[in-house]
Amino acid sequence: MGKKYELVVIGGSAGSFHVILQLVSQLSEGFDLPVLIITHRSRGKDYQFINILNEKTSLTVKEAEEKELILSGYIYVCPPDYHLLIEKDKTLSLDYSEKVNHSRPSIDVTFECVADIYKEKAIAILLSGANGDGAEGLHRIHKQGGVTIVQNPKNAEVPVMPQRALELFTADYIIEADEIGETFKKLNI
Amino acid sequence: MESNLISIKEEELAMLLTDIKNKYGYNFKEYSETSLTRRINRIFIINRIPSYAELHYKVLNDTDFFGNFLEAVTVNVTEMFRDPLFYVALKEKVFPQLATYPFVRIWHAGCSTGEEIYSLAILLKEYGLLHKCLLYATDINQEVLEKAQKGIFPLSAMKTYSENYIKAGGTQQFSDYYTANYGHAKFDTELTKRMVFSSHNLATDQSFNEFNLVVCRNVLIYFKRSLQNTVLGLFRKSLAPLGYLALGSKESIRFSEHDKCFVEIDKKNKIWRMEKDVSEKQ
């Protein structure tokens, strides 16, 4: 008999960085779901992203490595300029194929894997961003029975991304940046 | 709209791969499944194939279509001076050693449409090494090899490539290396003269020479660990003593049984050097 939920996946683009910071800082010690973070990061920029996130949580934040098994206690950040895939055995894979929605990594690509592999055991969060990447992927997670959480477009720095998702379907939760802790409590995680 | 998208099922994939192996000899069973599945699903859309049955039929009965299938199912995305810092590292840490040899053989495994081998040739030329190098460029896919051999790339890409070239430490005028015509850039035959193109299947083919440098970037990520191990063994057989191995920026030899044979030369840019006494011979 497995856990009710097995994975949290977060997708975001422009305007999502500070939301992710807030979100991660609300993950308390003992949070026992692995977390994947996919953001539209440009290659060639030296990011302190992972270091900054590590300061906010006692969970281990690291760059996702190929063939790595997804484990609780970890927050995996997709490297820039690769798509992040998940294999059936719940290991991570990197892929350098064509951009999807003009993006690599594409949030849709990862969300689709999550939908197919984790189904109703997935919790997916879509944040601020300037294009529709992630909307269809989130919809697929919803159709497979996963929990879908969307940042409120009204207060998102760049509303396009969450807005597109909400045009496709009704998400389970529409939240402000500082409400994730509360939402996770409602989900008993 | 989404409900019209065809997704190949697990059993169908297994059947297709078995039939391809039996008919054509290509073994895709050791390729990472999620990526392979995505690419096949993409083929349904691009070629407007309405069902798995139709795909299966065409793949096995239409050799032209199989050629297209092969090109579409492998990832051929590439660009010139991709990961410019990798080329900087090659120049700093590998070229000086190559310069000490009277003759240099380099193998670019999985060269796709050739952008990276032309990048390497350009930097070797600027370093004064090209004249004594032979660059072997191989790929599983005959179609992309033919493109690579021509050395013709879209002119529209040259602006980005020029920027990459500068970041990679290029010292000349990038546009001096090609002539522009009808929206295309044709690269200098002086570069192509040092290249040998050949089809080669990393999963099934043997070692065919001994090299001072083997470059294989963003190919291993598409293989399961067992196949990665096999390929690294192949590279070991193909390296001259103290030869260099260069992989893609997110690839590693860490989980392979061969990792003890290599010394890390550049951790970030994924360059290793093979230890002297451990090259595997036939």
Q: Tens digits of per-residue pLDDT, A48-71?
A: 899 999 999 999 999 999 999 999
Under the banding of pLDDT at 50, 70 and 90, the label for residue A98 is very high
Q: Average the pLDDT over A82-107 and give the result.
A: 96
Residue B279 has pLDDT above 60, yes or no: no
SS (H, E, C) chain B: CHHHCCCCCHHHHHHHHHHHHHHHCCCCCCECHHHHHHHHHHHHHHCCCCCHHHHHHHHHHCHHHHHHHHHHHCCCCCCCCCCHHHHHHHHHHCHHHHCCCCCEEEEEECCCCCHHHHHHHHHHHHCCCHHHEEEEEEECCHHHHHHHHHCEEEHHHHHHHHHHHHHCCCCCCHHHHEEEECCEEEECHHHHCCEEEEECCCCCCCCCCCEEEEEECCCHHHECHHHHHHHHHHHHHHEEEEEEEEECCCCCCCCCCCHHHEEEEECCCCEEEECHHHCCCC
To the nearest whole percent, how much of chain B has pLDDT over 90?
93
| Nearest-angstrom CA–CA distance, B220 and B251 | 7
Closest CA to A88 of B14, B251, B73: B14
**pLDDT digit string (tens) for B145-159?**
999 999 999 999 999
Under the banding of pLDDT at 50, 70 and 90, the label for residue A41 is confident
With respect to residue A1, please indicate whether it lies within any of the assigned structural domains.
no
Cβ-defined contact of B35 to A96 (cutoff 8 Å): no
Please give the pLDDT value at position B1: 38
| Nearest-angstrom CA–CA distance, A174 and A184 | 13
Cβ-defined contact of A88 to B39 (cutoff 8 Å): no
- Identify all chain B residues contacting A82, using CB atoms and an 8 Å cutoff: 250
Which of these ranges, A30-44, B115-129, B196-210, has the smallest mean pLDDT?
A30-44
Q: Average the pLDDT over A90-104 and give the result.
A: 96
Q: Average the pLDDT over A101-126 and give the result.
A: 97
Residue A4 has pLDDT above 80, yes or no: yes
Domains observed in chain B? 2-73 (1.10.155), 84-278 (3.40.50.150)
Please give the pLDDT value at position B282: 38
Which of these ranges, A88-92, B124-128, B139-143, has the smallest mean pLDDT?
B139-143
With respect to residue A127, please indicate whether it lies within any of the assigned structural domains.
yes
A34: containing domain: 7-186
Please give the pLDDT value at position A44: 58
- Identify all chain A residues contacting B248, using CB atoms and an 8 Å cutoff: 96
Cβ-defined contact of B250 to A79 (cutoff 8 Å): yes
Residue A45 has pLDDT above 80, yes or no: no
Cβ-defined contact of B77 to A98 (cutoff 8 Å): yes
| Nearest-angstrom CA–CA distance, B180 and A123 | 51
Q: In the A/B pair of chains, how many CB contacts fall below 8 A?
A: 48
With respect to residue A130, please indicate whether it lies within any of the assigned structural domains.
yes
With respect to residue A2, please indicate whether it lies within any of the assigned structural domains.
no
Residue B70 has pLDDT above 60, yes or no: yes
Residue B180 has pLDDT above 80, yes or no: yes
Question: How close does chain A come to B270, measured CA to CA in Å?
Answer: 14
Please give the pLDDT value at position B276: 73
Q: Average the pLDDT over A1-30 and give the result.
A: 91
- Identify all chain A residues contacting B218, using CB atoms and an 8 Å cutoff: 96
Please give the pLDDT value at position B214: 98
CATH of residue A109's domain is 3.40.50.180
Which residue type does B275 have? Answer: E
Please give the pLDDT value at position B2: 46
Please give the pLDDT value at position A46: 54
Residue A42 has pLDDT above 80, yes or no: no
With respect to residue A87, please indicate whether it lies within any of the assigned structural domains.
yes
Q: Average the pLDDT over B213-218 and give the result.
A: 98
Residue A164 has pLDDT above 60, yes or no: yes
ipTM above 0.95 for this complex: no
| Nearest-angstrom CA–CA distance, B146 and B114 | 9
Cβ-defined contact of A66 to B250 (cutoff 8 Å): yes
- Identify all chain A residues contacting B39, using CB atoms and an 8 Å cutoff: 97
Please give the pLDDT value at position B277: 64
Q: What is chain B's mean pLDDT, rounded?
A: 94
- List the single residue in B with minimal CA-CA distance to A67: B225
- List the single residue in A with minimal CA-CA distance to B248: A96
**pLDDT digit string (tens) for B219-236?**
999 999 999 999 999 999
Under the banding of pLDDT at 50, 70 and 90, the label for residue B281 is low
To the nearest whole percent, how much of chain A has pLDDT over 70?
96
Residue B278 has pLDDT above 90, yes or no: no
Q: State the catalytic residues of A.
A: 13, 40, 133
Q: How many domains does chain A divide into?
A: 1
Cβ-defined contact of A88 to B218 (cutoff 8 Å): no
A111's enclosing H/E stretch is helix A107-118
Under the banding of pLDDT at 50, 70 and 90, the label for residue B20 is very high
**pLDDT digit string (tens) for B89-132?**
999 999 999 999 999 999 999 999 999 999 999 999 999 999 99
This prediction has a pTM of 0.94
Region of A173 (left: φ > 0; alpha: ψ -120 to 50; beta: rest) is beta
